[in-house]
Structure 1
Amino acid sequence: MTAETLTTIAGADATDANAAGADAGTAGSSAVRGELVRVLFGDDHRAAHGPWRTLLTTEPFRRRSDLAPDAQLRLAYGRLRTLNSTLDSAFRLAADPVALANMHEWLSPVDTTLTTVAGIHYNLFLGSLLDHDGDVRRDLSAFADLTRIGTFLCTELDHGNDATALETTADYDRARDGFLLRTPHAGAQKFMPNTSTAGGPKSGVVAARLLVDGRDLGVFLFLTALTGAEGPLPGVRVRLLPRRMGSAVDHCLTSFDGVFVPRAALLSGAQGRLDAEGAFTSEVVNRRSRFLLSIGRVTAGKLSMSASAVGSVRAALAVAVRHGSHRLIGGVRASERVPVMAHRSHYAPLAGALATAYAMTLLHRTVLRAWTEYDRTERDRTVHDRTERDRTVRDRTGVAGRVEAERLVAVAKAWITWEARVVITQCRERCGAQGLLENNGLAALVTGIEGAITAEGDNIAIHAKAAAGMVSGHRPPRPPADPAGRELTDPVFLRELLAAVECVELDRARAGMRAAAPGDALGRWNAGASAALRAATAHAQLRAAEAVAAAADALPPGSATGELLHTLGRLFALERIAPHGGDLLNEGFMAGRHISELPAETDRLAARVAGQAQMLTGAFDLPDEWLADVPVTDAGYASAYDDPEGPWHRSAVEARW
């Protein structure tokens, strides 16, 4: 697709489109593409992302869309073993949140079932064992070589986001120096762990309420063998749940009937320890805090869910842009055939989606880096040290403490996965009926993103918690309310407007809560909740825009790549500012002329981005082998549906007879 086609059909500004370098085949565009790859994946992208990318090119990971659910599940566990065989150390992967996120980023577009079981095994299961292995040196070799697969049993049928209220119990048996795991009623069954016999024998870390001499000490994790070669072990009951949409994972209901585990099964640490005499000690007074410390791996899981979303979005866009560029339809004149991508009604949403994809990827990188650096500096500190430091010190990652760091991870996870749903749905729609066919991959991405939205904390719950924390403890600087002489072409001005949206919504939330009836905590929250949730979304959007700007500013002044990133950043910001124009005008942050100019400026930027769509998706660096397995990405996609017995294969003479 050329800039001229866009100009003729969609009325784009030819100067702007050409200035963006719409011909993706030029040497200059090749250099820009290479720089964009480094911007998206880092200077060490071949070391950090290369192994996962290469895995997608190998035969075991080539696309299979013709399998029944049971076969898909067997394939996923087989791929897990293949993946594990390529690792230099399963423990090193489990201990590295960056590597875990990268794994999710590349595997999600290929096999959501594999991504789910791999994330559970390496992060939630093996990671929890490594994090809480200070008191007991366990032999974990069976989990490293997948003699036993690990799973994670936390959520219960009656308790999901209120996991501190879990009802599975672990009653300390002094005579046997161990614990008896029990499921007291149907609502306490563990909900959705992959505990079937598929894939081989399994063990799990089970969240259960620790009872010592009848005293409830809070919820802890216990290492528990669940199944063997012949099925569930004595006292363990496993029942398959109905199939989950978009996934072949063996989600189950799991319950316990007096299952005995030794004292060493307790994953202990600062959250609590039980000595040889059965005496309990903890560095943490609050039972809720003990539980959150026990399941700390959920934070790395949120980062991995964000990674799954950005990887899936980039894959969906690569498919949609390729299809839109070679799918020809009738033009203005009867004899004319033009790419569907030439129509503004088609390319504008994809251009906005491309801007979003770059923003969410760079936000994910920023949040992952901040959390990793924060966690590294804090890992060896005591709980008391962490608490004191949270109150007094802002470290080099830009977050003041653990609470703020975890809040940023949660806000990013919710926003990225929600935005991913929107983008992937747009991409599916722009491929028409082809996008509904499983062999083109988009259908799996549409349903797969729903899992990321729910996993490691439902988005609504973690978003609401983060929003409440922002209302009580986040007071960002208010940008100047002086729009005179400011232009929508200024990226700094646009970021100030995003910051203003956050401030306006926080003010609205606090005002609503102050006006609520005293003594009604729920009523007070409800009075400010809507604005608070919008403030949290605005915060994520601002941080994403800042991440794009930082990437652009890190490049040499006048760089074509930097200018393209600023174009993406401006388009991203304008699309987020538009719904808040009334508030921004009313509060004095925008002038009336800005409101009038915004639609035309958005259209102009969309045309520029669309002119670069092939190069922008090329920088996603998806392997040719992966794209080759998606028929709709090829200009000759009709050949995938050719009928060798069709009449068009007969000669003209044969056809007449």
Structure 2
Amino acid sequence: MNSNLGNRRRRLLRSISRITMGKLCMSAGTLGMSRTALAIAVRYAHNRFIAGTKPGERVALAAHRSHHGRLIEKLAMVYAMTFLHRTTVARWAEHTDEDRAEVERLVAIAKGWITWQARDITIECRERCGAQGLFPANGLADLPQNIEGGITAEGDNLVIWVKAAAEMVLGHEVARRGAGQLPAGERDLTDLHFLRALLAEAEALWQDRARTALREGPSGNPLSRWNETSPAALEMVSVHARLQAADAFICAVAQAMDPSVRYLLERLCLLFLLRQINEHTGDLLADGHMSGDQVRELPRTVNAVIAELAPHMMTLVDAFDIPAEILASVPIAGGAYIDQYLDTAAPRPAPSPCDHRTHPFVPSRRFMPDA
């Protein structure tokens, strides 16, 4: 066979490029599972009542910050995943020969990030439903294992991220926009564009570390040199994925026409960004991008945003527009328990959480705008 491609590696990469659509599908499937898991867990949190602080008082699990805080953070994450996926699909649909390599890399990075986050989300949702979440009939127990397939299929996540990292160490420039002219100490932690700029600085920092490691690595030994470079390079890819999700999220906020929708999306986006910069505050403080007061204030700001979003949890999962028949087949989504379900339900297979109607390619028009 003759080829006009210069070497075996290029021929291999071209031959497997057809799996790009598969990466989009793996991302979509695991994203659908995440949204379904959250819809079930949030409903359970509102239907499960426990003893309150006063004698005879009963309160829903959703009343407790220790419970709803974790679910709200996962809601912010799944919205970010949704908007990133939609943006990535749009870019793939519109790509040209000139930007094909860049878009294929974005698809691979998004696939790795979305599927890894999906596993974390479904595990959290299962745990928040306690022992009831262990029963397969309640729709949660099998999801993490099913997502494992998406993590490995169409390119193992770590492998495709290593490829992206190798390309991005020298062949990528961080989009450092939105920083503004004010000193960091005068910026507000509720400013989405300031937080977005902080995340971009974190990506640039890890890229600089990867480039330094590459330059200073042992000469004459490519493997050892890459071993010195890859930890920082992979962290750069991880931050890049979150930055792309943040950009897609901010765009969705800007497109929201209804004030109440815009408010909820803005609060979710804020929570997502605050959580993403949390692990980088040491570096950002050291390099002068954040002040000490801002670092100290960050946990309080996160807590305040969660408190604002807590009354809207049902609205946020209703926006996924999951068909009623799917939720009706899950006992804990309607306030029932597994023993009641077994006594009353006729034997039938539960609908898959990957039902095409929960597929993120088909957005709900009731709430979530296209990004």
Q: TM-score, normalised by structure 2?
A: 0.88
Selected match of 2:28 from 295, 298, 307:
307
1:611–1:559 Cα change, 3 Å: same
Q: Does 1:627 align with 2:348?
A: no
Write out per-residue CA displacement over residues 37-92 of structure 1, whole angstroms, 9 at most, x where no aligned residue.
xxxxxxxxxxxxxxxxxxxxxxxxxxxxxxxxxxxxxxxxxxxxxxxxxxxxxxxx
* Alignment root-mean-square deviation, CA: 1.7
Q: Does 1:588 align with 2:259?
A: no
Write out per-residue CA displacement over residues 108-141 of structure 1, whole angstroms, 9 at most, x where no aligned residue.
xxxxxxxxxxxxxxxxxxxxxxxxxxxxxxxxxx
Question: How far is the alpha carbon of 1:577 from its aligned partner?
Answer: 0.7
Q: Does 1:531 align with 2:223?
A: no
1:513–1:285 Cα change, 3 Å: closer
Amino acid in structure 1 at the alignment position of 2:8: R
Q: Which residue of 1 aligns with 2:362?
A: none
Amino acid in structure 1 at the alignment position of 2:249: V
Selected match of 2:273 from 562, 573, 589:
573
Amino acid in structure 1 at the alignment position of 2:195: L
Selected match of 2:297 from 597, 617, 621:
597
Question: How far is the alpha carbon of 1:642 from its aligned partner?
Answer: 4.4
Write out per-residue CA displacement over residues 235-290 of structure 1, whole angstroms, 9 at most, x where no aligned residue.
xxxxxxxxxxxxxxxxxxxxxxxxxxxxxxxxxxxxxxxxxxxxx43333423323
Q: Map 1:246-261 to 2 at 5 A.
A: none
Amino acid in structure 2 at the alignment position of 1:324: A
> Distance between the aligned counterparts of 1:626 and 1:579, measured in 2?
37
Selected match of 2:89 from 368, 373, 380:
368
Write out per-residue CA displacement over residues 505-540 of structure 1, whole angstroms, 9 at most, x where no aligned residue.
111111122221112211111112111111111111
* Secondary structure of the structure 1 residue equivalent to 2:53: coil
Amino acid in structure 1 at the alignment position of 2:281: G
- Does structure 2 retain, via aligned residues, the 8 Å contact 1:428–1:443? yes
Question: How far is the alpha carbon of 1:563 from its aligned partner?
Answer: 1.6
Count of paired positions? 341
* Secondary structure of the structure 2 residue equivalent to 1:442: coil
Q: Which residue of 2 aligns with 1:355?
A: 76
Write out per-residue CA displacement over residues 433-475 of structure 1, whole angstroms, 9 at most, x where no aligned residue.
1111111111121111111001111111111111111102012
- Does structure 2 retain, via aligned residues, the 8 Å contact 1:313–1:423? yes
Question: How far is the alpha carbon of 1:294 from its aligned partner?
Answer: 2.7
> Distance between the aligned counterparts of 1:312 and 1:636, measured in 2?
21
Higher RCO (C-alpha under 8 Å, 6+ residues apart): 2
Amino acid in structure 2 at the alignment position of 1:613: M
* Secondary structure of the structure 1 residue equivalent to 2:256: coil
Question: How far is the alpha carbon of 1:552 from its aligned partner?
Answer: 1.0
Selected match of 1:449 from 147, 153, 158:
147
* Secondary structure of the structure 2 residue equivalent to 1:338: strand
Amino acid in structure 1 at the alignment position of 2:148: E
Q: Map 1:16-415 to 2 at 5 A.
A: 280-374=1-95, 377-378=96-97, 389=98, 401-415=99-113
Question: How far is the alpha carbon of 1:606 from its aligned partner?
Answer: 1.3
Amino acid in structure 1 at the alignment position of 2:304: R
Q: Does 1:419 align with 2:120?
A: no
Amino acid in structure 2 at the alignment position of 1:594: Q
* Secondary structure of the structure 2 residue equivalent to 1:484: helix
Q: Which residue of 2 aligns with 1:614?
A: 314
Amino acid in structure 2 at the alignment position of 1:444: D
Q: Does 1:494 align with 2:192?
A: no
- Does structure 2 retain, via aligned residues, the 8 Å contact 1:351–1:607? no
> Distance between the aligned counterparts of 1:285 and 1:506, measured in 2?
29
- Does structure 2 retain, via aligned residues, the 8 Å contact 1:411–1:536? yes
Q: Which residue of 1 aligns with 2:368?
A: none
Which has the larger displacement, 293-302 or 595-604? 293-302
- Percent identity between the two aligned chains: 48
* Secondary structure of the structure 2 residue equivalent to 1:358: helix
Question: How far is the alpha carbon of 1:292 from its aligned partner?
Answer: 2.8
Q: Which residue of 2 aligns with 1:107?
A: none
> Distance between the aligned counterparts of 1:544 and 1:478, measured in 2?
15
1:328–1:641 Cα change, 3 Å: farther
1:507–1:641 Cα change, 3 Å: same
Question: How far is the alpha carbon of 1:295 from its aligned partner?
Answer: 2.7
Q: Which residue of 1 aligns with 2:171?
A: 473
Amino acid in structure 2 at the alignment position of 1:537: S
Q: Does 1:511 align with 2:200?
A: no
Q: Which residue of 1 aligns with 2:245?
A: 544
* Secondary structure of the structure 2 residue equivalent to 1:612: helix
Q: Which residue of 1 aligns with 2:133?
A: 435
> Distance between the aligned counterparts of 2:183 and 2:214, measured in 1?
29
Amino acid in structure 1 at the alignment position of 2:136: E
Amino acid in structure 1 at the alignment position of 2:134: L
* Secondary structure of the structure 2 residue equivalent to 1:595: helix
- Does structure 2 retain, via aligned residues, the 8 Å contact 1:350–1:610? no
> Distance between the aligned counterparts of 1:332 and 1:576, measured in 2?
34
- After the TM superposition, which parts of structure 1 deviate over 6 Å for at least 4 consecutive aligned residues? none
Q: TM-score, normalised by structure 1?
A: 0.50
- Does structure 1 retain, via aligned residues, the 8 Å contact 2:165–2:234? yes
Gapped regions of structure 2 (runs ≥ 5): 346-371
> Distance between the aligned counterparts of 1:505 and 1:288, measured in 2?
27
Give the number of the structure whose residues are more often strand, by fraction.
Answer: 1
- Does structure 2 retain, via aligned residues, the 8 Å contact 1:305–1:452? yes
Write out per-residue CA displacement over residues 304-350 of structure 1, whole angstroms, 9 at most, x where no aligned residue.
11101110100000000000111001111121100111111101110
